[in-house]
């Protein structure tokens, strides 16, 4: 189990992949801020700009502890909170001053919003020609839908994910997390790092990265489009099974639990059938390869379910584990937090909240051998770093107080 020092601010950039990189985060909620979080975890100096008084709405989302979202503490780790009213000329001027020495700006406003405030791409690139700007929106910066508001739920629907999620006799379902937002965050970070490499390796000026939520979902939809293009096949909902790949499904166990089994490799399938006493199926030449098994998928699922239903979950896992057949139980949050493998790989970190109460949160991914990511502190109090950051711009004392009284900070 990883133990974290929440006061380790002086060592944020020690042996960090993104040491010396400054990021200005102008977004709110998930897609933009999660991208900023990923960069902060690997040593970037991320300045999160929040509106005064209320801050990022994420501070009040999901489960709260002492009035602050536990999600906030996790997603905003290693960031510095700076309060600025982006609608005010004074706040806009401060952003431009910060951008002048920044490497990356991240934003997820509706297209046109930053332009209205004089903070769009064309405005900021004049301040800093080497700037890299990640722009995340529902539908992208161009196209007939660009002005529509777009959240992850809408993007998951337009991107094709919702239609294929669930059971064929029921309405489409969503996953329990905002996967459209997090996919967009990942593409935004990839784009920023690609642009940074290009800038440093090839010279020239910076660029902006246009990330659409729906396109981020669409990009992971595998063979959805070529199957329709060539065969006019529309992939439908298939419940817990993996369409076109057999056998791969969720099966009931005798004790009321469920087991996930992926026995779809040719050699794996033979071992699988032998382990459940159906060597006849394992040796059937019609089932030797995936296309043959897909044609008989219903029969195979029935045979497998008959076996799993006669054993409890632990027996199923032990039997298939001994046969090297990929399988697993469906983890709850409680099981994740007590699992030895999670602990061995430092995927559960222990931190301390402002009142001294310990809290656990997810570890950092990916794991780099020489410059690993690290949690130095949890999501900060609103505006905790405003005075410090503005002082670095030469704004201090009476000027800072005047900005505060005017509601700019």
Residues with a known catalytic role: 181
What does 251-314 look like in DSSP terms, one character per residue? EE-TTS-EEEEE--SHHHHHHHHHHTT-HHHHT-GGGSSHHHHHHTHHHHHHHHHHHHTTS-HH
Residues 6+ apart with CB under 8 A from 56: 28, 29, 33, 48, 50, 72, 76
Peptide bond into 366 cis (omega under 30): yes
Beta strands 348-352 and 358-362 are antiparallel
With beta carbons less than 8 A apart as the criterion, state whether 348 and 363 touch. Answer: yes
With beta carbons less than 8 A apart as the criterion, state whether 351 and 51 touch. Answer: no
Closest of 14, 62, 65 to residue 352, by C-alpha = 65
Q: What does the block give as tokens for 49?
A: 């700009």
Q: Please give the angle made by the CA atoms of 62, 67 and 72, to the nearest 5 degrees.
A: 50
Q: Please give the angle made by the CA atoms of 72, 77 and 82, to the nearest 5 degrees.
A: 80
Q: What does the block give as tokens for 405?
A: 């009284």
Q: What does the block give as tokens for 61?
A: 């989302």
Closest of 316, 389, 363, 314 to residue 46, by C-alpha = 389
Q: What does the block give as tokens for 118?
A: 């004089």
């Amino acid at each position: 189990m990883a133990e974290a020092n929440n006061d380790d601010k002086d060592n944020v950039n020690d042996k960090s992949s993104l040491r010396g990189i400054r990021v200005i985060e102008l977004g709110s909620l998930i897609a933009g801020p999660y991208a900023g979080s990923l960069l902060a975890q690997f040593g970037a100096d991320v300045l999160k700009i929040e509106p005064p008084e209320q801050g990022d709405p994420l501070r009040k989302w999901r489960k709260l502890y002492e009035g602050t979202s536990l999600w906030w503490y996790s997603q905003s780790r290693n960031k510095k909170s700076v309060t600025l009213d982006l609608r005010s000329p004074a706040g806009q001027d401060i952003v431009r001053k910060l951008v002048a020495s920044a490497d990356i700006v991240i934003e997820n406003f509706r297209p046109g919003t930053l332009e209205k405030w004089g903070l769009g791409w064309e405005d900021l690139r004049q301040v800093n020609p080497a700037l890299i700007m990640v722009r995340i929106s529902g539908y992208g910066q161009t196209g007939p839908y660009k002005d529509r508001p777009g959240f992850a739920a809408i993007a998951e629907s337009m991107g094709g994910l919702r239609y294929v999620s669930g059971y064929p006799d029921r309405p489409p379902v969503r996953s329990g997390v905002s996967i459209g937002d997090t996919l967009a965050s990942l593409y935004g970070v990839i784009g920023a790092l690609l642009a940074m490499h290009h800038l440093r390796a090839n010279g020239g000026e910076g660029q902006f990265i246009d990330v659409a939520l729906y396109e981020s979902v669409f990009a992971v939809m595998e063979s959805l489009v070529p199957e329709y293009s060539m065969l006019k096949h529309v992939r439908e909902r298939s419940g817990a099974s993996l369409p076109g790949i057999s056998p791969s499904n969720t099966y009931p166990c005798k004790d009321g639990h469920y087991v996930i089994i992926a026995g779809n490799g040719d050699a794996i399938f033979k071992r699988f059938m032998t382990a459940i006493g159906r060597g006849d199926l394992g040796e059937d030449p019609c089932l030797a390869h995936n296309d043959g098994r897909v044609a008989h998928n219903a029969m195979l699922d029935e045979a497998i379910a008959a076996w799993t239903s006669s054993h409890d979950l632990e027996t199923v896992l032990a039997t298939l584990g001994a046969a090297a057949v990929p399988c697993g139980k469906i983890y709850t949050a409680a099981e994740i937090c007590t699992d030895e493998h999670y602990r061995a790989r430092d995927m559960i970190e222990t931190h301390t909240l402002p009142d001294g109460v310990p809290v656990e949160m997810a570890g950092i991914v990916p794991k780099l051998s020489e410059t690993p990511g690290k949690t130095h502190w949890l999501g900060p109090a609103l505006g905790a770093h405003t005075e410090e950051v503005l002082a670095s711009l030469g704004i201090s004392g009476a000027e800072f107080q005047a900005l505060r009284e005017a509601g700019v900070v």
